């Protein structure tokens, strides 16, 4: 059950009920796949990271699965059975069918309803940014993983939509004398390793990627992001501003085009993606060598060719 403080919004900067409404609304749109190209692209890159691990996973969990953006790229030779969890029942009802036997569960992704040491693999793609409840979720992911199980996640980075955010802030400062957030806040990469380490994961890997999408203008960016409510770009912070004045929007569109516009008249929107991999400890895993046991100094790296030839002799 959700802690009372979290239910009142004390621990989370997000309105969870609004987030569920946004995701359910997005899943009922006539052409949901029209706005899902980014999630599908990241889902494919997530699947590549699963394929890089040379083993078969008998039971996997997809946290915040949506319509199954990762599952559609996986094979039954890699994942034998999959459980998809999402807070929006409409997203699960419209999930893409795959060759993998799948069980779908409607539940709050922040509070997983599974027993300890259940899954061999947990994946999670493009969910919300780091906050108190996300830390709870990562702890629960670690708990439901079996020893030597692996967690692979993707999350929006701090530079996501910086063009849009900067344009809106400058326009509001000029026209209204202040600004408020209109896009959900994002995460700094330095926080990810610390979060995974505190949750108990080891052999950590964190890397970053950028995907840039071009639009005719700011209004098309905003319209597309509304269709991506299920991804988290649409703001649901408690301190969100309910509307933007027309003059402010026109000013923001002009600033966007002037500061970031392409030569062909389009404007770019940058999505920064952080990918993270962490393993749950098992005694069979490789362990780092003891401190001071090295036989070669880093200062000798300049002599690497001589060291290799000496080793061959």
Q: Give whole-number Cα distances, 108 to 76, 91, 93, 194, in Å.
A: 26, 13, 16, 24
Q: What is the DSSP string of 185-201?
A: --B-HHHHHHHHHHHTE
Distance (Å, rounded) from C-alpha 236 to C-alpha 209? 25
The yes-or-no verdict on residue 298 having pLDDT over 60 is yes
pLDDT in tens, 181-190: 656 666 677 7
pLDDT in tens, 7-21: 444 445 455 676 667
Report residue 154 as tokens: 């993707």
User: Which residue's structure tokens are 């309105």?
Assistant: 15
The yes-or-no verdict on residue 238 having pLDDT over 50 is no
Domain boundaries, the chain: 16-160+185-214+270-283
The yes-or-no verdict on residue 2 having pLDDT over 70 is no
Q: Which CATH architecture has domain 16-160+185-214+270-283?
A: 3-Layer(aba) Sandwich (3.40)
Q: What is the DSSP string of 99-142?
A: SS-EEEEE--TTS----SS-EEEEEEEEE---SHHHHHHHHHHH
Give the three-state DSSP class for 242: coil
Closest residue by Cα to residue 167 from 215, 208, 128, 209: 215
Q: Give whole-number Cα distances, 26 to 22, 109, 207, 214, 229, in Å.
A: 6, 18, 29, 22, 6
The yes-or-no verdict on residue 57 having pLDDT over 80 is yes
User: Which residue's structure tokens are 């967690």?
Assistant: 151
Q: What is the DSSP string of 224-240?
A: HHHHTGGGT-B--BTT-
Note the pLDDT of residue 185. Answer: 60
Closest residue by Cα to residue 157 from 277, 271, 13, 36: 271
Closest residue by Cα to residue 192 from 204, 175, 180: 204
Distance (Å, rounded) from C-alpha 36 to C-alpha 31? 9
């Amino acid at each position: 059950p959700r802690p009372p403080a979290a239910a009142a919004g004390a621990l989370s900067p997000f309105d969870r009920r609004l987030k569920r409404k946004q995701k359910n609304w997005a899943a009922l749109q006539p052409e949901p796949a029209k706005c899902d190209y980014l999630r599908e692209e990241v889902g494919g890159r997530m699947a590549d990271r699963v394929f890089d691990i040379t083993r078969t996973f008998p039971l996997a969990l997809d946290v915040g699965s949506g319509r199954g953006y990762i599952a559609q790229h996986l094979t039954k030779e890699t994942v034998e059975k999959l459980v998809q969890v999402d807070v929006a029942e409409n997203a699960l009802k419209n999930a893409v069918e795959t060759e993998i036997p799948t069980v779908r569960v409607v539940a709050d992704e922040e509070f997983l309803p599974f027993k300890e040491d259940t899954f061999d693999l947990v994946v999670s793609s493009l969910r919300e940014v780091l906050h108190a409840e996300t830390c709870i979720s990562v702890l629960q992911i670690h708990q439901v993983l079996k020893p030597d199980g692996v967690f692979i996640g993707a999350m929006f980075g701090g530079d996501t939509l910086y063009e849009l955010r900067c344009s809106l802030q400058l326009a509001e400062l000029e026209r209204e004398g202040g600004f408020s957030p209109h896009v959900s806040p994002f995460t700094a990469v330095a926080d990810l390793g610390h979060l995974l380490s505190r949750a108990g994961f080891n052999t950590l890997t964190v890397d970053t990627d950028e995907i840039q999408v071009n639009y005719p203008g700011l209004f098309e960016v905003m319209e597309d992001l509304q269709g991506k409510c299920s991804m988290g770009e649409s703001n649901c912070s408690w301190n969100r501003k309910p509307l933007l004045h027309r003059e402010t929007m026109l000013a923001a569109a002009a600033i966007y085009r002037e500061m970031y516009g392409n030569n062909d008249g389009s404007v770019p929107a940058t999505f920064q993606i952080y990918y993270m991999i962490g393993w749950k400890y098992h005694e069979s895993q490789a362990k780092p060598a003891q401190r001071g046991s090295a036989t070669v100094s880093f200062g000798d790296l300049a002599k690497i060719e001589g060291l290799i030839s000496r080793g061959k002799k």
